[in-house]
Amino acid sequence: MNSGVNAKKFEPSLTYSSYLKIDELLQLQKPRSTGPEHDEMLFIIVHQTYELWFKCVLHELSRVQQLLELGDTHASLPVLGRVRTIFKVLVSQVDILETMTPLQFNSFRDRLEAASGFQSVQFRELEAVLGRRDHSMIDHLEPNSEPQLRVQSSMNRPALFDSVLVYLVKRNHKMPIEIMQRNFSESYSANELVQESLADAYRNDPEAAMLLERLIDIDEGLQEWRYRHVKMVERTIGMKQGTGGSSGAAYLTSTLFKPIFPDLWAVRSRF
């Protein structure tokens, strides 16, 4: 008999597991080893975690670019600090990977086939947001695929340092017009006039100086992670070719000591 009252569909309460999709998450680790290779699980989990942190950093950098272009120092500072802290976590994950010996890694390395960290789309996108403009970064991606278009889009729009320059102009620090109106798809080169304005900000604008130091923290953090990554690869496979046809440690070494914000390093010699 219809009582006239619509029965409510039962909906279970939100739980820790359902909110975080724990059941789905724990199904994503699929070692390809069929023998006694114990360490592939560690390898998978660490690299999946890297990708989650890359996603978080991209999320934070998108937010901080908005805040910088609004001229909001106080909201920008904790976001930049968070990014730096995440880079510290990325470095600490190398410590975990280094608990795996070369013999342990080589017990399952052939299962990786052509898979390589060089293919990480999110890391390429992160590099682009931080200012890298190297179109060879997308050569290995399927033409017109969503990943390729995502990285290409990141290389075509203002990078983090471009948003910093907008922030400084809002604080009445002069910047060269050709820099402010440059083609964002092209590589940025260190500029003497920009460095003069940065030096003035350091001397006369304490809030801006504090923010610029957060950027140096991030630059240093990324360089630290690159260095630890190189040494971990050398420690694990020596100078052998990497998976996926990459040159392994040789390629990674070529990325060292290339600052994201060259002007912020150069300006230190002015004081």
Type of residue at 110: D
Residue 14 forms part of a structural domain:
no
- DSSP H helical segments within 71-159, as ranges? 73-97, 102-106, 121-129, 146-156
Residue 265 forms part of a structural domain:
yes
In angstroms, rounded to a whole number, what is the distance separating the alpha carbons of residues 238 and 116? 16
Q: Is the pLDDT of residue 259 over 70?
A: yes
Entry pTM = 0.88
Whose structure tokens read 């909201």?
75
Tally of domains within the chain: 1
Taking only the tens place, the pLDDT of each residue in 52-84 is 999 999 999 999 999 999 999 999 999 999 999
Residue 25 forms part of a structural domain:
no
CATH number at residue 211: 1.20.58.480
In angstroms, rounded to a whole number, what is the distance separating the alpha carbons of residues 268 and 242? 37
Range in 22-36, 55-69, 108-122, 171-185 the model is least confident about: 108-122
Structural contact between residues 196 and 269, judged by C-beta atoms closer than 8 angstroms:
no
Residue 10 forms part of a structural domain:
no
Pairwise pLDDT comparison (109 vs 52), residue with the higher score: 52
- Going 107 to 113 to 116 to 120, the CA torsion angle's sign is negative
Confidence band for 137, pLDDT divided at 50, 70 and 90: confident
Q: What is the pLDDT of residue 127?
A: 95
Work out the angle at residue 105's Cα, subtended by the Cα atoms of residues 99 and 107, and round it to the nearest 5 degrees.
135
- Domain of residue 224 covers 39-103+120-176+188-270
Whose structure tokens read 């190189």?
230
Percent of the chain with pLDDT strictly greater than 70: 89
In angstroms, rounded to a whole number, what is the distance separating the alpha carbons of residues 222 and 131? 13
Confidence band for 271, pLDDT divided at 50, 70 and 90: confident
Q: Is the pLDDT of residue 88 over 90?
A: yes
Confidence band for 106, pLDDT divided at 50, 70 and 90: confident
Structural contact between residues 118 and 244, judged by C-beta atoms closer than 8 angstroms:
yes
Residue 223, token pair as written in the block: 């360089």
Q: What is the pLDDT of residue 252?
A: 63
Residues in the chain, overall count? 271
Structural contact between residues 130 and 141, judged by C-beta atoms closer than 8 angstroms:
no
Q: What is the pLDDT of residue 237?
A: 75
Mean pLDDT to the nearest integer, 110-124: 80
Mean pLDDT to the nearest integer, 243-248: 52
Confidence band for 44, pLDDT divided at 50, 70 and 90: very high
Q: What is the pLDDT of residue 42?
A: 92
- Residue from 79, 83, 76, 84 nearest 208 by CA: 76
Q: What is the pLDDT of residue 159?
A: 98
Residue 22 forms part of a structural domain:
no
Residue 17 forms part of a structural domain:
no
Residue 231 forms part of a structural domain:
yes
Q: What is the pLDDT of residue 21?
A: 96
Residue 49, token pair as written in the block: 């975690």
Residue 110 forms part of a structural domain:
no
Pairwise pLDDT comparison (244 vs 106), residue with the higher score: 106
- DSSP H helical segments within the chain, as ranges? 16-20, 22-25, 40-70, 73-97, 102-106, 121-129, 146-156, 160-170, 177-180, 192-204, 206-237, 249-254, 262-266
